[in-house]
Amino acid sequence: SRLWLQLRLFDTTLVRFQPGEIGKLFLVIFLASYLASRHAALTSMTRKLGKLSMPEPRQLFPLAIAWAVSLVILVYQRDLGASLLLLAVFAAMLYAATGRAIYPLAGGGLFLAGAVVAGTAFDHVQRRYDAWLRPWDDFADTGYQIGQSLFALGSGSLTGSGLGLGRPDFIPSATTDFLFAAVAEETGLAGSLAVVAAYALLVAVGFGIALRARDPYRKLLAAGLTAAIAIQTILIIGGVIRLLPLTGITLPFMSYGGSALVANMVAVVVLARISHEVAS
C-alpha cells in the first residue's frame, strides 16, 4: 500500500507525510459544515421499514458513499485502520448531529458485511484476519507481531519491568503500531490503565467542549475531532490487546510519526479555540 506521499526536488525529499492524517482533519471539517446545514432533513423520519423509522433514502446517500470509500481503502490500499476510522468518524458525527442510532448501526452493519465479503475474496484481507484470530498457527510469519505484543503485555504484570528495563527490540514496530505493548511491559497494568484514563479524560473534555459550543457547526466540529481521537485510540489499543484486528494506525500523541502528531495537535488547538470562544 502507498500510505505516504513525498514532495521531491531533484533527488532530495523535501516533505514526506501521510495524506490520511491530513484528510482526517478535512473530513471532520467538511462533515461538520454539511451536517449542520442538513440537520432538519436528517432527523426527519418519513419512511418505514417494518417497525423501523428511516429518513428519505437520498439522505442516506452520504453514508453509502462513506461505506464505499472505506471498502475501497480496505481492499486496494490495504489500510484497515484508515477505512475503519473513516466510517466510524462519519457514523459518530451523524449520530451527534441527529441523535438517531440508525446511522451508526447502519454504518457498522454495512462495514461488517463488506469486511466479511472482502475477507473471503481477497487474500491480503484474509491474512490480516488470520493474524488476528489465529496468531499462533503461523507465529513465525503472520502471527509474529501480535504474538510478541501479547508476550510483552503478559510480562508486564501489575507494575511492569521498570522504565527502560523492557525489551522493545523484541516487539515489531515498538515506536509506532505497538507502542502500547512496550508501555505495558515497562509500566504494567497500572501504567496501562493510567494511559487509558488519560485518553478518557481528554475525550471527556473534548465532548464537554462540544456540548458547550455556541452553534451547531462548532458543536459538530468539536465532537468530530474528539471522536476521531477516541476512535483512533480504541482501534490501536484494541488491536494490540487482540480485541480487534490490527489496523496499523498510530496511538495519538505517543506513537512516532510527524504527520499524525501534527494532525492531532491541530485538533487540540481547534478544540482549545472553541473552548476559548465559549469562555469569552
CA distance 189 to 209: 30
Using alpha carbons only, what angle is made at residue 197 by residues 168 and 201, rounded to the nearest 5 degrees?
Answer: 130
Q: How far is CA 270 from its chain centroid?
A: 19
CA distance 175 to 17: 17
Tens of each residue's pLDDT in the chain, 280 residues: 445 556 666 666 556 666 777 778 888 998 898 888 877 777 666 666 666 666 666 766 766 776 677 667 656 666 677 777 888 888 888 888 888 777 788 777 877 887 777 777 777 778 878 888 888 888 877 788 888 888 888 888 888 888 877 777 777 777 778 889 889 999 999 999 999 999 999 999 999 999 999 899 999 999 999 999 999 999 999 988 888 888 778 889 888 877 788 889 999 999 999 999 988 7
CA distance 223 to 97: 9
Helices (H), the chain: 19-37, 39-43, 61-76, 80-98, 102-121, 123-133, 144-155, 179-212, 216-240, 258-279
Region at 160 (left for phi over 0; alpha for psi -120 to 50; beta for the rest): left
